[in-house]
C-alpha cells in the first residue's frame, strides 16, 4: 500500500475495500472532503511557536515534521501572529515588561525568550536583557563592587543617543528593572548616556602670486656711416632704462587651517526614593 500525503488524499481512498464500493459510503466520503481539506489547511495556523520562531529569527533545534512543512508550504507559508494572539501568549507565559515593549518585534522577542528570562531572573544578565529587548536600547548593569558603591546596590545605564527619551520610557525602564532584579539588590540610579558627534572640517589652503615688473628697453641702434671728412671717425650709442622705485612686494605665505573632531557626551541620572 502506497503512502498517503496529508492534504492531498481524498477520504474515499482511506476506506476499507469492503465498504469502498458502496455508493452511499462513497457519497458520504466525498461530502467530507471539503470539510476535511479546510481543517487540514488550517493546521499551519495552529503552529504558534513555529510562527513565533520564524518572526524572531530563532532557528529551532528540531525542524518541523515533513507533513507539517508541506502543509505550511501549500498554505503560502506560516502567517504572522496577530497582536491579539501575542497578548494571549504573553499572558499565558507571564512575560515581565510586556507592556513596555516599543514595537511588535520586541513583543515577539520577549515572548520567545520568556522561559530563559524566568530561569535567570534575579541576575544582572536578566536585568540587562530585559531592558535591551523591551526598550531596544543598549544597556549596561554595574554592581556595587564595580564602581565602589554600597553593598547590594547596582546601577543601570542606557544609551539613548539614537532614541527619544521621555518620562514614559523612564518609568518603563524602572518597572523593567524591578521586575527582573532580585529582592536583596537595590537600584542606586538609572543613568542615560547621549553621544552626539560634531563633525569639524579640516582643510589646507594655498595662495600663489606672480610678480611682474615692467621695464623699458631699447635695442641697440646701428649708427649711420658718416662721410670721411677727417682722419678720425666717431660713433655714439645711447641706451635708456626705466624701472619702478621701491622694494618689490613679497608673495604671501600659504595659510594652513587645522581642526579636530569633537564629541559631546550628556549623562543624566534618575535615582529612586528609598
> In whole angstroms, what is the distance from residue 38 CA to residue 34 CA?
6
Is residue 248 helix, strand or coil? coil
Distances (CA, A) of 97 to 147, 154, 177, 188: 27, 20, 9, 20
In this prediction, residue 233 carries a pLDDT of 44
Whether the CB-CB separation of 52 and 81 falls below 8 Å is answered with yes
> Residue 6 gets which letter from DSSP?
T
* CA-based R_g, the chain, Å: 44
pTM, 2 dp: 0.57
**Angle value at C-alpha 217, between 213 and 218, nearest 5 degrees:** 170
> What tens-digit pLDDT sequence spans the chain (274 residues)?
566 666 667 777 777 878 878 888 888 888 887 777 777 777 777 778 877 877 776 655 556 777 777 777 777 777 788 888 899 999 998 998 888 888 888 898 899 888 888 899 999 999 999 999 999 999 999 999 998 889 999 999 999 888 888 888 889 999 999 999 999 999 998 988 888 776 766 667 676 667 666 666 666 767 666 565 544 444 444 454 544 545 555 655 655 545 444 455 556 666 555 4
In this prediction, residue 272 carries a pLDDT of 58
> Residue 99 gets which letter from DSSP?
G
In this prediction, residue 45 carries a pLDDT of 77
What is the CB neighbour count within 10 angstroms for residue 256? 9
- Residue 136: closest CA among 168, 110, 118: 110
DSSP 125-179: HHHHHHHHHHH-S-EEEEEHHHHT--TTEEEEEEE-TTS---HHHHHHHHHHHHH
Amino acid at each position: 500500500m502506497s503512502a498517503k500525503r496529508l492534504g492531498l488524499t481524498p477520504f474515499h481512498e482511506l476506506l476499507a475495500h469492503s465498504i469502498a464500493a458502496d455508493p452511499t459510503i462513497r457519497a458520504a466520503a466525498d461530502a467530507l472532503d471539503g470539510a476535511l481539506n479546510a481543517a487540514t489547511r488550517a493546521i499551519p495556523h495552529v503552529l504558534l511557536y513555529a510562527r513565533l520562531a520564524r518572526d524572531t529569527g530563532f532557528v529551532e533545534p528540531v525542524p518541523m515534521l515533513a507533513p507539517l512543512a508541506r502543509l505550511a508550504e501549500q498554505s503560502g507559508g506560516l502567517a504572522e501572529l496577530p497582536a491579539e494572539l501575542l497578548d494571549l501568549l504573553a499572558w499565558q507565559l507571564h512575560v515581565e515588561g510586556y507592556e513596555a515593549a516599543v514595537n511588535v518585534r520586541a513583543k515577539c522577542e520577549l515572548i520567545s525568550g520568556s522561559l530563559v528570562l524566568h530561569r535567570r531572573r534575579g541576575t544582572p544578565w536578566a536585568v540587562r536583557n530585559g531592558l535591551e529587548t523591551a526598550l531596544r536600547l543598549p544597556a549596561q548593569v554595574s554592581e556595587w563592587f564595580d564602581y565602589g558603591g554600597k553593598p547590594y546596590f547596582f546601577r543601570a545605564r542606557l544609551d539613548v543617543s539614537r532614541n527619544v527619551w521621555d518620562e514614559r520610557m523612564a518609568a518603563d525602564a524602572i518597572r523593567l528593572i524591578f521586575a527582573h532584579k532580585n529582592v536583596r539588590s537595590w537600584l542606586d540610579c538609572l543613568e542615560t548616556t547621549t553621544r552626539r558627534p560634531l563633525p569639524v572640517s579640516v582643510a589646507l589652503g594655498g595662495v600663489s602670486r606672480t610678480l611682474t615688473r615692467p621695464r623699458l628697453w631699447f635695442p641697440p641702434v646701428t649708427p649711420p656711416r658718416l662721410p670721411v671728412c677727417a682722419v678720425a671717425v666717431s660713433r655714439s650709442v645711447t641706451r635708456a632704462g626705466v624701472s619702478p622705485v621701491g622694494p618689490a612686494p613679497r608673495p604671501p605665505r600659504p595659510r594652513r587651517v587645522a581642526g579636530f573632531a569633537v564629541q559631546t557626551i550628556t549623562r543624566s541620572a534618575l535615582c529612586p526614593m528609598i
